Amino acid sequence: MPKVLSEDAVTQYRRDGYFHPVDILDETAVAANRAHLETFEAGQGHPLKGGQRNKSHLLFRWVDDLMRTPRILDAVEDLIGPDILCWNTLFWIKEAGSESFVSWHQDYNYWGLDSEDLVTVWLALSPAAVESGCMRVLPGSHKRGSMPHDDKFNDDNMLTRGQEISKGVDEDKAVFMPLKPGQASFHNVQIAHASGPNLGADRRIGLSLHYLPTHAQQTVGDWDSAALVRGEDTYGHFTPAPRPKQDMDPDAVAFHERASGAVRDILFKDADKVRPTL
C-alpha cells in the first residue's frame, strides 16, 4: 500500500516515467521558503548563480529541511523503497520574460550514477505554467535506453554543456507538467525532458531534488557525497553530507565547495568546453 501516491500514480510512473502534480507545501510554507530564497538573493544583490544552485542543502538550512519533508519522502519511498539518499538539490530559476530554456536531455547520461531508480522531485516555489516554461516530458522514453546527445553550449540553455538529444524526440508526443506553487512532479532519471522560456510575469522558481536508493554508486567521479534522508545506509558508497546548523554554516559551506566541485567535474567529463561555474 503506497504512503502518498495512489496505486495508479505508481503504475503511471513506472509505465510512463513521470507523475504530476502532487500537493506538497501549503501556501504559507511556499511563501516562507520563497522569502528565504529571495531575502538571500537581495542580500547578495543578485539571483542564485553557479555553484549556489547545486547541492544547495549544504548552504541553506531551509533547503536541507525541504529535502527531508516527510510528504516528499513518503512519495519517494512509494517509488524506490525505504532506504533513501538525496544526491543533489538544484535550483532552476527562470526570471520573468527570460529566454532561459532547457534542451531535451536525459540525466542518466551525465550524472555518473549507476541506478535507474533515481527519482527527481521538481518542487515549484512559484507558478510553473506552460507560459512560464514548465517542464515537459516524453512519456515512456525512460525505457528507450540512452538517446544520442550533442553538446551545444548555448548561453540561454540552463544545462551545463547545452546537451541536447539529437534524434528521437517527437514533440507531438510531449506532455507538459504544469505545477502550482507548492506542487511537485516526479520523473525518472532516464526520461527525456525539456522546458521553454518564461513568458510569464513572475519568476519561475523550481527546486529539483534527486533521490536514489542507498545501493546506488557513483561510477564517474572518484569521490561523491549524498545525504541519508530516510532509512539505513548499509552500503556506504557516498560520503555522508553534513547537515548545516544554520544558513552558511562554515563547515557545511566548506563541504559544499568540495561536493559541488565534484558534481561539476562529473557533469563536464569529456566535454570540449567547461564553464567556470555550474
Ligand X SMILES: O=C(O)CCC(=O)C(=O)O
Residue numbers at the binding site for ligand X (CB under 6 A): 92, 102, 107, 120, 122, 135, 193, 195, 206, 208
**Nearest distance in Å: CB 9, ligand X:** 19
In angstroms, the first-to-last Cα distance of the chain is 40
3-state SS, 5-67, equals: CCHHHHHHHHHHCEEEEEECCCHHHHHHHHHHHHHHHHHHCCCCCHHHHECHHHCCHHHHHHH
**Nearest distance in Å: CB 50, ligand X:** 17
Beta bridge partners of 157: 101
**Nearest distance in Å: CB 80, ligand X:** 16
Using the minimum distance from each CB to ligand X, give the nearer residue, 56 or 195.
195
Collapsing DSSP to helix, strand or coil, 215 comes out as coil
Residue 115, sorted as left (phi over 0), alpha (psi -120 to 50) or beta, turns out to be beta
Using the minimum distance from each CB to ligand X, give the nearer residue, 179 or 249.
179
Using the minimum distance from each CB to ligand X, give the nearer residue, 92 or 242.
92
- As given in the structure block, the three cell numbers for residue 152 are 551545444
**Nearest distance in Å: CB 246, ligand X:** 27
Among 259, 261, 127, CA closest to 206: 127
Using the minimum distance from each CB to ligand X, give the nearer residue, 229 or 249.
229
Using the minimum distance from each CB to ligand X, give the nearer residue, 33 or 195.
195
**Nearest distance in Å: CB 70, ligand X:** 22
